[in-house]
A and B are shown apart, each in its own frame.
Chain A
Amino acid sequence: MASILRFRKLCYLEPVKCSSLGFGSFETPKVDRKCENVASAVEEVSEKSKKKKKRQPKEWRCIDYCCWIIGYLCTTWLLLLFLYHCLPANLPGLRVPEPPGARLKREGLTALHPVVLVPGIVTGGLELWEGRPCAEGLFRQRLWGGSFTEIFKRPLCWLEHLSLHNETGLDPPGIRVRAVPGLVAADYFAPGYFVWAVLIENLARIGYEGKNMYMAAYDWRLSFQNTEIRDQALSKLKSKIELMYVTNGSKKVVVVPHSMGVIYFLHFLKWVESPPPMGGGGGPGWCAKHIKAIMNIGPAFLGVPKTVSNMLSAEAKDIAVIRAVAPGILNSKFLRLQTLEHVMRVCRTWDSIISLLPKGGETVWGNLDWSPEEEHDCDSAKKMFLQPTLNENNTNHSDEKRRFQVKESMKYGRIISFGKEASELPSSQLPTLGSEEFKRTRSSSNFDTSCGEVWTEYDEMSRESIRKVAENKAYTARSLIDLLRFVAPKMMQRTEAHFSHGIAENLGDPKYTHYKYWSNPLETKLPDAPDMEIYCLYGVGIPTERSYVYKLSPSDKCKSIPFQIDSSADGSEGGCLKGGVYFVDGDESVPVLSAGFMCAKGWRGRTRFNPSGIATYIREHQHKPPASLLEGRGLESGAHVDILGNVALIEDVLRVAAGATGAELGGDRIYSDIIKMSERINIRL
């Protein structure tokens, strides 16, 4: 026991060093490696000095001194730890703010409607059920989630088990990795990093427990329909909802999906009412009978631009920064391993990522010259971001300010542009290629057989075709899909059988009964359930990736990714362009537009997407960074995952679960320009 504590101490000490290097998102892995390094370094030191000792008996004090220091630190640490544990729980200085659940319980709220939680991408745990010999001893251990120790012990093995078959999108032969069931699936992502835990705890305070709370864990790597085909996850969810409805006195359920879980549940809504074998056969009244409200948290209804950069070059903002700071690290063959390439190879086998590509094409995301967010003022957004206290009633403020500012509008519509100029030029000066010109010149002239095993589909592309991609300068949401089809034909072929990204002209068309349209809110009708309510709860006030400036990567080696974000492209002071990425308002992952449009316009009132007139509510949460360290990840955060610990959001969820309606919560609560932006989008309703 004590020794474990000592080891823990080591791990706690090191993060300070590690994080100062600025590895934002890579903190966890680095920390662990660092710790091992330290451990080994200590050993090396002691071993060296042992050798010295033999040679020069007089120098024995050095090693003694080392031991002494370590011993001293350990003892102090243990002492402090001991005192910390002895500490009475409620010390005046450590006053923990009262959890919202306890407060609401005093108000008289009790558990009424059963609650279903639907986790998003990446946050759900995955465990191994059958594996290759290299994964010996990991049976029913978490591969994803938890402490991720296996990455360091056997990185290649780990990647192999997490990737799916690249033709079927299902398990590779001999490997079965399954979602962890139950509430443990996504309460904590890694030790100490909560996802749903805070919400669960607060729900429990007003009387929820295992019988009226259910975590609809699913394998987030698969396409949605495949979770039913392989694991019967949708059937299980249906049966659970029916069971909870019956055992809780015919109370309808409140569904709380998060992130990708939102579109997963959208898929479920269509699936459950469709006739078998493709659907669940619940009949047209199923949703009306069983669901009271859907409280979408950080919904990615219309996709996330981040996915584009992920698919194209396996990098997000954080990785681009690292590459700029230390160009060598990611490209060097660390442990015989090209990190990014491997990540890309694995990610491309995950069908679900494609579900997050921007949907709605140029109508929603803007074309070469126009975008709904073009008036977005990054400067004021930043001010809001930095001065959280001023922004209580800032909506009017920033509007006025904006009138006086003359600013060139950003061309967010160009989601990918090659070179900074291309992102700023007016469209008439851009060389454009039609999509028909994306004809694959699959000449294997450059294809080097010495590369051996083909990892990413880039290896099959010739240098010329890559150059041709870059010559096209700018891509919008529509041509982006063509681009992806061009650079990764197999992947797109596989996944386009499961997902669609367009806008329906005529929703009555029989083709829309196919499951590939179910997860796209612009190509499905909501179920006929006039009493249901749909909430969009999301954070605003954090710069969120919206479009990218790319360049060709310098390296010409095989097995490398030919494109990368041009992190040297910076805009003017206070501009929206930073490190090759244009930012808009959002919750760090999902732009406001994607999260709020459906609730603000697409479904508002009786539209063709919402024929029965389901009520929609927008509840925005202005981001405030944690005031002190004691607050951890913040009680008023608006960030994509941290928002699950946001007190106001938890209160909303609890009130609805206890029976309140959207009107009783106070209807819409809006801080961003979502209404104005939605107005600009010209879509037939």
Chain B
Amino acid sequence: MVSRRKGSEHKKALNLEFRIDKEDDKREKEREEKPIIKKNKQEENEHRKRDLKKWSCVNSCCWFIGCMCSIWWFLLFLYNAMPASFPQYVTEAITGPVPDPLGVKLHKEGLKAKHPVVFVPGIVTGVLELWEGHQCAEGLFRKRLWGDPYAGLSMSLDNETGLDPSGVRIRPVSGLVAADYFAPGYFVWAVLIANLARIGYETKNMYMAAYDWRISFQNTEVRDQTLSRIKSNLELMVATNGGSKVVVIPHSMGVLYFLHFMKWVEAPAPMGGGGGSDWCAKHIKAVMNIGGPFLGVPKAVTGLFSAEAKEIAFARAVAPGVLDMDVFGFQTLQHVMQMTHTWDSTMSMIPKGGDTIWGGLDWSAEDDHDCNTKKIKSNDTQPMSQNGKGSSVKRVNYGRIISFGKDVAEVNSSKIEQMDFRGAVKGSNLANTTCRDVWTEYHDMGVEGIKAIADYKIYTAGSILDLLHFVAPKMMKRGSAHFSYGVADNLDDQKYVHYRYWSNPLETKLPNAPDMEIFSMYGVGIPTERASVYKLSPAAGCYIPFQIDTSAEGGLDCTCLRGGVFSVDGDETVPVLNAGFMAAKGWRGKTRFNPSGIRTYIREYYHAPPGNLLEGRGTQSGARVDILGNFALIEDIIRVAAGATGEDLEGDQVYSDIFKWSERINLQL
């Protein structure tokens, strides 16, 4: 035994041989593995008597690895041999018997698949795959690019056209796999799909309207004919399911996309789909918007302005070096910004409706929002009633979406001097030429321009647009051909037949479909970014000149300000006002935006963090993506899909101040 061990000692020497042979080995490694082992053993025997040493470090290492492997295999074997019901058994032992899954419960109630269901995924959650790439992407053909953390390729589009750069074709994955799981284990639609399947849904009556979420809505039709495909699929599903109209479930940006679709499909060709003026009435039963950013998201502004949202700002505060460092030779934030600037779709999320909706310098609809009471409430989960009583709390000027300096964000508007930046000289580019490869439009701007922006001090929703036009003229020029952010004075104006207005609910009429229902379903109870405090970035040169001032804290009397960001109630990304306003006021009853009087319902879901670890991401979550796993929401959807109307669901379910806030918005209806 001893000598055997010693003999194996010279393996180390063999290792060297391996390195020489490796070029050949790797080609036929499986094949050669065995001969090598034999060779090892032979030489082992020869050397056995020659050197008698003790265990060396290498051998110990090998021994250790061997042990680990064996144990791993053993566990893997056990795991594979384990009966499938074992985990459930353990769970039941710990937490007691698990109630029936939702779908099963409803199935027992007698609900059955009736209306075909269409999912419209939102921004970022849809998976993209590569169809044609440059040399460096060899071997990635039809591999997931987005949704796979390891394939961090540049996903930029052409910055002039907003379409594919030459030689690269990245396309959305089609089918339910497009957005069931975003990354392994991180569900998006999967829970909803599983529950729908339990009452009888399958591929023939469920459809994922996957689209390339990077390009503008109309371009998805121009490049991929996505809208035509959705139209054809909806028609097919209605025809093959005995004439039952479809229930559409858009999520996040998909809400705007579907709004665009509804206008597109009834508009005459070539700009539209030529479906005729009653297409929606004939094919759509209900639109169940989940977390819809109807009026845009303030987060989009910070994203476009300085490529940072709350999370990134936080990371920057904790570890200032990381994001600004040249990690692996590139400047992370700048690259992110360069990439997102080429994505037209992000511009669909810029706040719409201007000061009327989002508030002016001194006024905003959510003025009396009390961040403190919310904190308490989330602890005892009482229904919303005491809100508004906490008048001692200082009012927050939410209207000022971007303000330079904390003091500016709080003082009275009369004390602020604004220097108009619009005419300001942009100045020459001072950045040295080495910055050139990093393309953000900031590099076309000189110090004067940056200073002019900072001097204006405060930007409301209206002036934000001017600001973006100033700092990123090319991007906004491209974007404004596809999107519009205003409020229509006269909806019958001829110009509103153009597709750029279709995704703005304040500049379009809903289709003429009095039997249709529109649901606004969203989470509440999570502080959501609404306005931010900026400062000039200290570094000069190639860097983005602005960043969120994370040191701006509100203190005890104004808890809404945290880390440079003013928060209101919402679902972590979309403020309540934005998600609910159209259903609460803009479309309620017969208004000019809703001429046929389509019924609207608001379904709010109060956020409750997961009770324990076993629940994963929570069955009562109100957060943006996690809400798709919220049982109450799933139940609503299943009931509607099985034929219920909004009345059967008991109409509105409201926890927030949405109605009060909507009242305050002065909009001609």
Contact = CB atoms under 8 A, between A and B. Distances in A.
Interface of A: 3, 6-7, 10, 12-13, 15-16, 36, 39-40, 42-43, 46, 59, 61-62, 64-77, 79-81, 83-84, 87, 89, 93-94, 129-130, 133-134, 136-137, 139-140, 149, 153-154, 176, 178-179, 181-184, 187, 200-201, 204-205, 209-211, 231-232, 235-236, 239-240, 242-243, 246-247, 629-630
A136 B88 contact: yes
A232 B194 contact: no
Contacts of A43: 70, 73-74, 77
Given A71-B61, A80-B29, A83-B22, A40 B77 contact: yes
Contact of B198 (A130, A136, A201): A130
A59 B30 contact: no
Contact of A68 (B8, B77, B228, B229): B8
Interface in B589-615: none
B51 interface: no
Interface in B117-176: 131-132, 138-139, 141-142, 169, 171-172, 174-176
B65 interface: yes
A137 B26 CA distance: 38
Interface stretch (B232-240, B253-261, B634-642): B232-240
A239 B73 CA distance: 50
Nearest to B236: A239
B5 A61 contact: yes
A204 B141 contact: yes
B22 A71 contact: no
B202 interface: yes
Interface in B314-371: none
A71 B67 contact: yes
B22 A80 contact: yes
Contact of A235 (B11, B174, B194, B236): B236
A258 to B, nearest CB: 19
B193 interface: yes
Central interface residue in B30, B70, B169, B239, by most chain A CB within 10 Å: B70
B172 to A, nearest CB: 8
B229 A79 contact: no
Nearest to B30: A12
A106 to B, nearest CB: 14
B26 A83 contact: yes
Contact of B26 (A80, A130, A201): A80
B460 to A, nearest CB: 42
Nearest to B194: A139
B197 interface: yes
B186 interface: no
Nearest to B85: A136
A434 to B, nearest CB: 47
A59 B4 CA distance: 13
Contacts of A69: 66
A344 to B, nearest CB: 27
Contacts of B80: 36, 149, 153
B1 A61 contact: yes
Contacts of A61: 1-2, 4-5
B131 A70 contact: no
B28 A209 contact: no
Contacts of B59: 68
A62 B66 CA distance: 13
Given A16-B30, A80-B25, A211-B224, A39 B73 contact: yes
A181 B203 contact: yes
B212 to A, nearest CB: 10
B202 A176 contact: yes
Given A71-B63, A77-B33, A239-B235, A209 B171 contact: yes
Interface string B31-46: 1011011000000000
Given A67-B67, A74-B69, A210 B224 contact: yes
Nearest to B172: A210
A181 B175 contact: yes
A66 B28 CA distance: 25
B424 interface: no
B270 to A, nearest CB: 12
A166 to B, nearest CB: 22
Contacts of B64: 67, 71
Given A71-B65, A182-B175, A209-B169, A235 B70 contact: no
Contacts of A10: 73
Given A65-B1, A72-B62, 17 more contacts: A7-B76, A15-B30, A16-B30, A36-B80, A59-B1, A61-B2, A64-B63, A77-B33, A79-B22, A140-B176, A140-B193, A181-B175, A184-B177, A204-B141, A231-B203, A240-B232, A242-B232
Contact of B66 (A72, A129, A187): A72
A246 to B, nearest CB: 7
A64 B4 CA distance: 11
A75 B65 contact: yes
A74 B141 CA distance: 30
B225 interface: yes
A81 B197 CA distance: 41
B208 to A, nearest CB: 10
B224 A94 contact: no
A178 B72 contact: no
Given A71-B62, A72-B62, A39 B77 contact: yes
B664 interface: no
Nearest to B67: A67
Contacts of A12: 29-30
A235 B239 CA distance: 9
Given A176-B202, A182-B177, A243-B229, A73 B37 contact: yes
9 contacts: A7-B73, A61-B2, A71-B62, A73-B33, A76-B36, A77-B33, A136-B85, A139-B197, A154-B84
Given A36-B80, A209-B169, A178 B63 contact: no
Enumerate the 4 nearest inter-chain pairs by beta-carbon distance, A residue then B residue, closest first: A71-B66, A67-B66, A71-B65, A71-B62
B264 to A, nearest CB: 14
Nearest to B4: A65
Nearest to A59: B1
B559 to A, nearest CB: 43
Nearest to A44: B74
B27 interface: yes
A70 B66 CA distance: 5
Contacts of A181: 175-176, 203
Given A69-B66, A182-B174, A210-B171, A39 B76 contact: yes
B477 interface: no
B436 interface: no
A79 B18 contact: yes
A629 B18 contact: no
A3 B71 CA distance: 11
B202 A204 contact: no
Nearest to A248: B225
B131 A204 contact: yes
Given A178-B203, A235-B240, A71 B229 contact: no
Interface in B71-93: 72-74, 76-77, 80, 84-85, 88
Contacts of B4: 61, 65
B204 interface: yes
A66 B229 contact: no
A211 B225 contact: yes
A332 to B, nearest CB: 22
B413 to A, nearest CB: 52
A231 B236 CA distance: 12
A211 B77 CA distance: 43
Interface in B208-253: 224-225, 228-229, 232-233, 235-236, 239-240
A67 B194 CA distance: 44
A136 B194 CA distance: 12
A13 B30 contact: yes
A210 B236 contact: no
Nearest to B198: A130
Contacts of B132: 204-205
Nearest to A128: B197
Contacts of B31: 16
